[in-house]
């Protein structure tokens, strides 16, 4: 009889232990799901265009067309997974800034920069490309749309310093002839250089107000 009681007690303790283990597993699963949900954050507003990554060879050609060197600060407006600023740092020793409205892509870009070993030379920020301060850029890269090119033209002309270069993948400014064009596979690339007084030639376009101060970047050695 005593043996039966002892075995019953051991069985109850075993069941209780199993319940505790299952509770811990369930708690861990809930935490994992919550973490994944938090990581996949929604953008502050609906993005203007669907994200389409620039192919590697096209991205490299864009940087070559702009003549990027280790003295440049490359801003990518709508930076996605960060490949253009990362390549600018890897291939040319430049510093890079990526502006991206989707927080999940911003985090992906930061991870990619770390894995590429250039996280000390590039910065990725969550933000609206129309509100970002781009005055420190010497090169701006774009892969937008026809309508967004019309909207961003005045901002580029008013905020960028003379001598800054703008490179666009596939889309161009309707009233601002490109200085150079080139083709990579089926993609057309366009280059403009900002010249003195260009901000006065906005052809009636409304100048956008200056946004908050952007990140201060140390001058490369």
In a domain, 111, yes or no: yes
Average pLDDT, the chain: 80
Q: Choose among 142, 124, 141, 140: nearest CA to 48.
A: 142
pLDDT band at 216 (very low <50, low <70, confident <90, very high): very low
In a domain, 157, yes or no: yes
Cβ–Cβ under 8 Å, residues 94 and 74: yes
Both 23 and 108 in one domain: the answer is no
In a domain, 44, yes or no: no
Q: Choose among 51, 102, 59: nearest CA to 83.
A: 59
Q: Choose among 184, 145, 182, 190: nearest CA to 165.
A: 190
- Please tell me the predicted confidence (pLDDT) of residue 14: 54
Cβ–Cβ under 8 Å, residues 81 and 109: yes
What domain count does the chain have? Answer: 2
Identify the domain containing residue 13 by its residue range: 1-39
Angstrom distances, CA of residue 114 to CA of 16, 55, 97: 45, 20, 14
Both 80 and 154 in one domain: the answer is yes
Q: Residue 217 and residue 219: Cα distance in Å, rounded?
A: 6
| Per-residue model confidence as pLDDT tens digits over 174-211 | 999 999 999 999 999 999 999 987 555 444 444 444 44
In a domain, 206, yes or no: no
Cβ–Cβ under 8 Å, residues 78 and 72: no
H or E segment and range at residue 150: helix 146-159
Count the alpha carbons within 13 Å of 165 in the hemisphere toward its beta carbon: 20
CATH code, domain with 149 = 3.40.50.150
In a domain, 210, yes or no: no
Both 77 and 174 in one domain: the answer is yes
Both 139 and 179 in one domain: the answer is yes
| Per-residue model confidence as pLDDT tens digits over 73-132 | 999 999 999 999 999 999 999 999 999 999 999 999 999 999 999 999 999 999 999 999
Both 10 and 84 in one domain: the answer is no
- Please tell me the predicted confidence (pLDDT) of residue 197: 73
Both 137 and 30 in one domain: the answer is no
Both 78 and 183 in one domain: the answer is yes
Cβ–Cβ under 8 Å, residues 112 and 83: yes
Both 86 and 154 in one domain: the answer is yes
Strands (E) located in the chain: 73-77, 95-100, 122-126, 139-142, 165-169, 180-184, 187-193
pLDDT band at 39 (very low <50, low <70, confident <90, very high): very low
- pLDDT above 70: percentage of residues in the chain: 67
The whole model's pTM is what?
A: 0.71
Which among 7-11, 39-43, 74-78 has the top mean pLDDT? 74-78
- Please tell me the predicted confidence (pLDDT) of residue 221: 40
Both 187 and 131 in one domain: the answer is yes
Map residue 210 onto helix, strand or coil: coil
Map residue 73 onto helix, strand or coil: strand
Edge-to-edge order in the sheet of strand 165-169: 122-126, 95-100, 73-77, 139-142, 165-169, 187-193, 180-184
In a domain, 174, yes or no: yes
Both 14 and 101 in one domain: the answer is no
pLDDT band at 51 (very low <50, low <70, confident <90, very high): confident
């Amino acid at each position: 009889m005593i043996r039966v009681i002892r075995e019953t007690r051991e069985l109850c303790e075993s069941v209780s232990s199993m319940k505790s283990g299952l509770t811990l597993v369930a708690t861990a699963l809930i935490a994992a799901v919550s973490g994944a949900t938090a990581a996949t954050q929604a953008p502050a507003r609906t993005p203007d265009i669907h994200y389409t990554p620039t192919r590697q060879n096209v991205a490299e050609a864009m940087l070559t067309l702009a003549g990027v060197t280790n003295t440049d600060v490359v801003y990518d407006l709508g930076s996605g997974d960060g490949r253009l600023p990362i390549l600018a740092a890897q291939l040319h020793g430049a510093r890079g800034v990526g502006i991206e409205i989707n927080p999940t892509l911003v985090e992906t870009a930061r991870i990619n920069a770390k894995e590429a070993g250039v996280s000390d030379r590039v910065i990725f920020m969550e933000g609206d490309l129309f509100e970002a301060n781009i005055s420190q850029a010497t090169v701006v890269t774009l892969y937008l749309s026809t309508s967004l090119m019309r909207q961003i033209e005045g901002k580029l002309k008013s905020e960028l310093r003379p001598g800054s270069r703008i490179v666009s993948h596939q889309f161009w400014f309707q009233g601002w002839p490109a200085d150079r064009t080139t083709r990579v596979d089926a993609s057309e690339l366009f280059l403009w250089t900002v010249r003195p007084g260009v901000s006065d030639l906005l052809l009636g376009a409304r100048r956008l107000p200056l946004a908050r101060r952007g990140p201060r970047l140390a001058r490369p050695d």
